[in-house]
Amino acid sequence: MKRKHQSIDAPQRVRMIDVARAAGVSTATVSRVLSNAGTVKPDLAERVMEAVRRTHYVPDSTGRALRRQRSDVWAVIVSDIQNPYFSRLVASIEQIATANGLSIVLCNTGEDLDRERRFIANAISQRMCGVILTAASEADENVELLTRARIATVVVDRRVGSYEGDSVLLNNVLVGRLAANHLIERGHQRVLCLFGPSAASTTFDRYLGFQAAWTEAHRDRHGLQLVETNIHAGGARQATASALARAHPPTAIYAANAVLSMGVYRAVQESGRRMPEDVSLIGTDDADWTTMVSPQVTLISQPVEEMGTRAASILLERMEDPDGEPHHVVVSPSLIERETTGATIAP
């Protein structure tokens, strides 16, 4: 019996030593062949490859990871995998990871800082070679852990406090500006703006951008009603309903995230108002429903796949060169004009 502590019936796995024996070489040679060291004579290398095939050898990543002090795995930490934005992000990252022989472990924080911390501890414990993080808050203590552990990291979607490493962010100020300008151009004077919880940097920047554009256009700031609601569509629905019921209802509504957009659309439909004749709507983020409904939703769209792809590419680079200059990519949103906003309204 060659190996101890092995139960009798468990089929023994083929190890590198078995391949080595089958090929009549040492494990060092097998290892060199498999990792393309290129320092092995062609005929020997071929003999090894032949033995690999004959024995159905599958390298054991756990041994490899221990020896190399890192495993070929990325952690992708997002706040809600069910949000289409994040599933598209994850899908685009996964594609690049897989193409480079890496696996990704999916971590769903649900915006919970404590879960985030545990996922990061886990990434460190498993000696993962990279992390892509959409942080649950601006607090930087969690991402600090990664920096200290010297794990290649790219922050995506949300800014993190004093973090200075690689990041791929959306120009969220521009998101707000695009929305504001579109409505301003069409003559709107009374606008309801709905934002999500302001903990996220995305929310705050959109708010900033909208307000800046409004002010620059010399619009009366009293015409702007800014509401911060919770992340559920219900809040937006209610806020919209009560705003529409007032004496001087808004002529346009801006919903600063995907969930809010659904709530607002529903509320407007329920109120019996027509879009865009009675009230205009600008939403945020592509989603199936925005083109299935009638009228289709005018919205601000993010280049999600691009963000995922850029983040993954940067992470690959960073793994090669841990101490290079950090990349700070900022991508731009775009306005997709459809049917919930229309012609210029009377002043």
Partner DNA sequence: TTGTAAGCGTTATCAG
Partner DNA sequence: CTGATAACGCTTACAA
Buried-exposed string 85-109: b where 16+ CB fall within 10 A, e elsewhere:
bbebbbebbbebbeeeebebeebbb
* Chosen residue from 247, 292, 343, 346 binding its own copies by CB under 8 A: 292
Q: Find the binder of DNA among 53, 54, 68, 221 (CB under 7 A).
A: 68
Give the interface segment with DNA, choosing from 29-37, 200-208, 268-276, 321-329 (CB under 7 A). Answer: 29-37
Residue 106 makes contact with its own copies by CB under 8 A: yes
71 binds its own copies (CB under 8 A): yes
Element (H, E) at 131: strand 128-133
Q: Which of 16, 104, 87, 13 is nearest to 52 (CA)?
A: 16
Minimum CB–partner distance for residue 270 and its own copies (Å): 11
> Least distance to its own copies from the beta carbon of 46, Å?
22
Q: Identify whether the C-beta of residue 233 lies closer than 8 Å to the C-beta of residue 259.
A: yes
Q: Is residue 330 at the binding interface for its own copies, with CB under 8 A as the rule?
A: no
Residues between 127 and 186 that touch its own copies (CB under 8 A): 127, 148, 150
Site string for its own copies, 197-236 (x = CB under 8 A): ----------------------------------------
Q: Name the residue among 145, 92, 90, 91 with its Cα closest to residue 116.
A: 145
Q: Taking CB within 5 to 8 Å according to partner kind, which of DNA, its own copies, none is near residue 115? A: its own copies
d(CA 262, CA 145) in angstroms, rounded, equals 37
- Please give, one letter per residue, the 3-state secondary structure of 8-59: CCCCCCCCHHHHHHHHCCCHHHHHHHHCCCCCCCHHHHHHHHHHHHHHCCCC
Q: Which does 8 bind (CB under 5 to 8 A by kind): its own copies, DNA, none?
A: none
Tell the smallest beta-carbon distance from residue 170 to DNA (Å): 38
Stretch of 87-95, 176-184, 189-197, 200-208 lying at the interface with its own copies (CB under 8 A): 87-95
Minimum gap (Å) between residue 180 Cβ and its own copies: 25
Contacts of 225 (CB under 8 A, 6+ apart): 190, 191, 192, 193, 243, 250
